[in-house]
Copies of this chain bind each other. A is one copy, B any other.
Amino acid sequence: MRHELQAIVGIDHVRAPGAADLADATEWSGLRGRADAVVLPGSPEEVAAVVAWCYEHDVPITPRGGGTGWAGGAVPDGGVVLGLERLTRVRRVDPAWWRMEVDAGVTTATVARRAREEGLYYPVDPGAAESSHIGGNLATNAGGPHALKHGVTRSWAMGLDVVLAPGERVRLGGPVRKDVAGYDLVSLLVGSEGTLGVICGAWLRLVPAPEASSSIAVACESAKAAAAAMERALTCGIVPAALEYLDDGAVAAASAGAPLFVPPGGVLLLADVEGDPVQVARDHDTLREALEGGDGVLAVAEFAARTDRETLWRWRDGIGLAVIAQRGGKLSEDLAVPVDRLAEAIDETQVIGVRHGLDACSWGHAGDGNLHSTFLLDAADPAQRAKADAAAQDLFALARRLGGTVSGEHGIGRLKAGQLREQWAPAAVAAHEAVKRALDPKGLLNPGVKRP
């Protein structure tokens, strides 16, 4: 196998898998895969040739971006790991026309930085921006705090440069802001976790960068009080750019940099506003009044200066790692529920933890109803892992009971295989499976991932 793949990508770009190729961010919950080879194509044409060779020889393909996923979607189960890390070119930036074309292996941070350099804004901000690839963001339809105002990755993808089975490179969409000529295969590929095609590049939409922004942190005595504050924020007439929450356990895990103290059972809310300076000042005041104007609000902190605000959001971005640092491991599920059920989901996460004898905490994208419900694990203790797996089933049932979904932004990956079948009607699951068979008849694209 290696010789034939080396003939396609060059002798230096096929290697035996190392530990880092067989895991993603879920390694903290113990997931590790296996593979026969790692192949690193240097161009979309080489990606197509690798896929064609694999498809002809019935070799499974696991596409891999930055390896920062939280669902095991880049963890291989035999066959070839197809890494996109050599595709790192920013192909084109058209500042006047609010768009950029990039290779799949460009990091999320690079996309954001190049946009900023031109006075533009790529607002999607999933965590791990310095290591995650835009290709992986597209494959998982990544979200993040600012999805509240700006939407998830799908909202920003105008076109894809993608390799479809059995190894054909095609362009879907392009530098065009509207296109209904064919079925929306761009949206279908986005979020498909590498199971319908291999994304090699994309045309991204951008917007003029907001000139100013400012943030507010509010400590509330309970999830219920936080939900009430959030309702006031959502009905005060403005659109916050982000509206996040952290429960007391999540805040405690990163207490050193925490903006406010949160007592047991309490919840911290973080809100962000963006716009021109005058607008931001007004929105900030409106939002602060709304957030603090009710029962159960313990304290308010404001972050108007740019560096203070950046420090706050860096702290927020580090919560996942801070929680892992508590015990060496965690199992985290990214439920999304109707926003009006958020308080219930926060409280129930704690109840489920107690039921299974696990320390639980949660944080996430409050305005989108998207939680990261998490159990702390001692990575060296397999019994805890088993408990956490059982507790995760309760979380999935909770999401369904509240009318939500088992995944708001991480995807099904390997870890949630089988959950879609519990959530969707049989005919919808059949449609999901029919689409998979239609675009990957041999089932070689990331097999075992996003299985209903």
User: Are B408 and A180 within 8 A (Cβ)?
Assistant: yes
User: Are A435 and B438 within 8 A (Cβ)?
Assistant: yes
User: Are B170 and A427 within 8 A (Cβ)?
Assistant: yes
Tell me, rounded to whole Å, the shortest Cβ–Cβ distance linking A50 to chain B. Answer: 16
In Å, the complex CA distance between A336 and B337 comes to: 37
Q: Which residue of B lies closest to A185 (CB)?
A: B431
User: Are A176 and B338 within 8 A (Cβ)?
Assistant: yes
Q: Mark A222-254, 1 if CB is under 8 A from B, else 0.
A: 000000000100110111000000000000000
Tell me, rounded to whole Å, the shortest Cβ–Cβ distance linking A45 to chain B. Answer: 14
In Å, the complex CA distance between A143 and B405 comes to: 28
Interface hit among A8-16, A274-282, A321-329: A274-282
Query: Known contacts A181-B412, A431-B439; is A405 also within 8 Å of B276 by CB?
Result: no
Partner of A428, one of B185, B405, B416: B185
Q: Which residue of B lies closest to A433 (CB)?
A: B438
A310 within 8 A of B: no
User: Are B180 and A184 within 8 A (Cβ)?
Assistant: no
A320-356 contacts to B (CB < 8 Å): 336-340
In Å, the complex CA distance between A369 and B208 comes to: 18
A359-385 contacts to B (CB < 8 Å): 365, 367-370
Partner of A170, one of B337, B408, B428: B428
User: Are A143 and B178 within 8 A (Cβ)?
Assistant: yes
Tell me, rounded to whole Å, the shortest Cβ–Cβ distance linking A367 to chain B. Answer: 8
A110 within 8 A of B: no
User: Are B183 and A428 within 8 A (Cβ)?
Assistant: no
A420 within 8 A of B: yes
Q: Mark A398-410, 1 if CB is under 8 A from B, else 0.
A: 0000011111111
In Å, the complex CA distance between A412 and B180 comes to: 8
User: Are A184 and B187 within 8 A (Cβ)?
Assistant: yes
Q: Which residue of B lies closest to A452 (CB)?
A: B182
Query: Known contacts A183-B192, A279-B276; is A178 also within 8 Å of B207 by CB?
Result: no
A411 within 8 A of B: yes
When distances are taken between beta carbons in the complex, the residues of chain B under 8 Å from A428 are 164, 170-172, 182, 185
Partner of A235, one of B95, B147, B181: B95
Q: Which residue of B lies closest to A237 (CB)?
A: B208
A191 within 8 A of B: yes
A41-59 contacts to B (CB < 8 Å): none
In Å, the complex CA distance between A118 and B95 comes to: 37
A215 within 8 A of B: no
Tell me, rounded to whole Å, the shortest Cβ–Cβ distance linking A338 to chain B. Answer: 4
Partner of A424, one of B182, B188, B339, B419: B182
A261 within 8 A of B: no
A113 within 8 A of B: no
User: Are B431 and A179 within 8 A (Cβ)?
Assistant: no
Tell me, rounded to whole Å, the shortest Cβ–Cβ distance linking A172 to chain B. Answer: 6
A4 within 8 A of B: no
Query: Known contacts A168-B425, A208-B238, A279-B279; is A336 also within 8 Å of B179 by CB?
Result: yes
Tell me, rounded to whole Å, the shortest Cβ–Cβ distance linking A216 to chain B. Answer: 17
A74 within 8 A of B: no
Q: Which residue of B lies closest to A426 (CB)?
A: B168
User: Are B427 and A178 within 8 A (Cβ)?
Assistant: no
A190 within 8 A of B: yes
The contact sample of 27 A-B pairs, CB cut-off 8 A, is A96-B231, A96-B234, A97-B234, A141-B180, A143-B178, A164-B431, A168-B426, A170-B425, A170-B431, A171-B425, A171-B428, A178-B368, A178-B409, A180-B408, A181-B405, A181-B423, A182-B412, A182-B420, A182-B424, A184-B188, A184-B191, A188-B435, A207-B239, A208-B238, A276-B279, A434-B439, A435-B438
5 closest A-B pairs by beta carbon, nearest first, are A187-B187, A168-B427, A434-B438, A438-B438, A178-B408
